[in-house]
Structure 1
Amino acid sequence: MSRTVNTVTGPVRPEELGKTLVHEHFVFGYPGFHGDLTVAPYDRERALQVGLDVARRVMAHGVRTVVDATPNDCGRDPELLREISERTGLQIICSTGYYYEGEGAPAYFKFRWALGDAEEEIYEMFMRELTVGIGRTSIKAGVIKLASSKGVITEYEHMFFRAAARVQRETGVPIITHTQEGTMGPEQAELLVGEGADPRRIMIGHMDGNTDIAYHLATLAHGVFIAFDRYGIQSFVGMPTDQARNALVLGLVGLGFADRLMLSHDTVNFWLGRPVTWPPALEDLLAGWHPTHLFEDVVPALLEAGVRPEHLETIFVHNPARLFGAEA
Structure 2
Amino acid sequence: MSQKVNTVLGPVPVDELGKTLMHEHFFFGYPGFYGNSLYPRDDEEIMRVGMEVAATVKAHGVKTVVDATPNEAGRDPELLKRIAEKTGLNIICSTGYYYEGEGAPAYFTFKKALGSAEEEIYEMFMHEITKGIGKTGIKPGVIKLGSGKDAISDYEQTFFKVAARVQKETGISIITHTQEGTMGPEQAELLVSEGADPNRVLIGHMDGNTDINYHLRTLEHGVFVGFDRFGIQGFVGAPMDKDRVGTLMGLIGLGYAGQLMISHDTVNHWLGKAPEWPDELKKLIANWHPGNIFENIIPALKKGGVTDDQIDTMLVKNPNKIFGGSEADKAAKDKKETANLS
Query: What is the TM-score with the length of structure 2 in the denominator?
Result: 0.94
Counterpart CA distance in 2 for 1:182 and 1:145 is 16
- Is the partner of 1:54 in helix, strand or coil? helix
Aligned letter for 2:111? R
Q: Which has the higher contact order (CA 8 A, sep 6+)?
A: 1
What does the per-residue CA deviation read over 1:80-125, in whole Å, with 9 as the maximum and x for residues that have no partner? 1101101110000000000000100000111111223201110111
Counterpart CA distance in 1 for 2:279 and 2:302 is 31
Aligned letter for 1:3? Q
Counterpart CA distance in 2 for 1:210 and 1:245 is 8
Counterpart CA distance in 2 for 1:34 and 1:6 is 28
Query: What corresponds to 1:200 in structure 2?
Result: 199
Aligned letter for 1:82? K
% of aligned pairs identical? Answer: 65
How much has 1:15 moved relative to structure 2?
1.0
Alignment map for 1:1-328 (pairs within 5 Å): 3-36=3-36, 38-326=37-325, 327-328=329-330
Aligned letter for 1:282? L
Counterpart CA distance in 1 for 2:126 and 2:103 is 21
How much has 1:258 moved relative to structure 2?
0.4
Number of aligned positions between the proteins: 327
Counterpart CA distance in 1 for 2:115 and 2:188 is 28
Counterpart CA distance in 1 for 2:207 and 2:122 is 29
Counterpart CA distance in 1 for 2:254 and 2:114 is 49
How much has 1:305 moved relative to structure 2?
1.0
Aligned letter for 1:235? G
- Is the partner of 1:64 in helix, strand or coil? strand
- Is the partner of 2:277 in helix, strand or coil? coil
Counterpart CA distance in 1 for 2:119 and 2:14 is 29
What does the per-residue CA deviation read over 1:158-208, in whole Å, with 9 as the maximum and x for residues that have no partner? 110000000000111100000011210000000000000000000000000
How much has 1:51 moved relative to structure 2?
0.4
- Is the partner of 1:85 in helix, strand or coil? helix
Query: What is the TM-score with the length of structure 1 in the denominator?
Result: 0.98
Aligned letter for 2:27? V
- Is the partner of 1:181 in helix, strand or coil? helix
Unpaired runs of 5+ residues, structure 2, are 331-342
Counterpart CA distance in 1 for 2:46 and 2:275 is 14
What does the per-residue CA deviation read over 1:10-46, in whole Å, with 9 as the maximum and x for residues that have no partner? 101211110000000001000011111x211111111
Aligned letter for 2:13? R
Q: After the TM superposition, which segments of 4 or more aligned residues of structure 1 sit over 6 Å from their partners?
A: none
Counterpart CA distance in 1 for 2:100 and 2:224 is 24
How much has 1:275 moved relative to structure 2?
2.1
Counterpart CA distance in 2 for 1:278 and 1:294 is 22
How much has 1:220 moved relative to structure 2?
0.3
- Is the partner of 1:238 in helix, strand or coil? coil
- Is the partner of 1:320 in helix, strand or coil? helix
Counterpart CA distance in 1 for 2:160 and 2:3 is 23
Counterpart CA distance in 1 for 2:206 and 2:3 is 27
How much has 1:249 moved relative to structure 2?
1.2
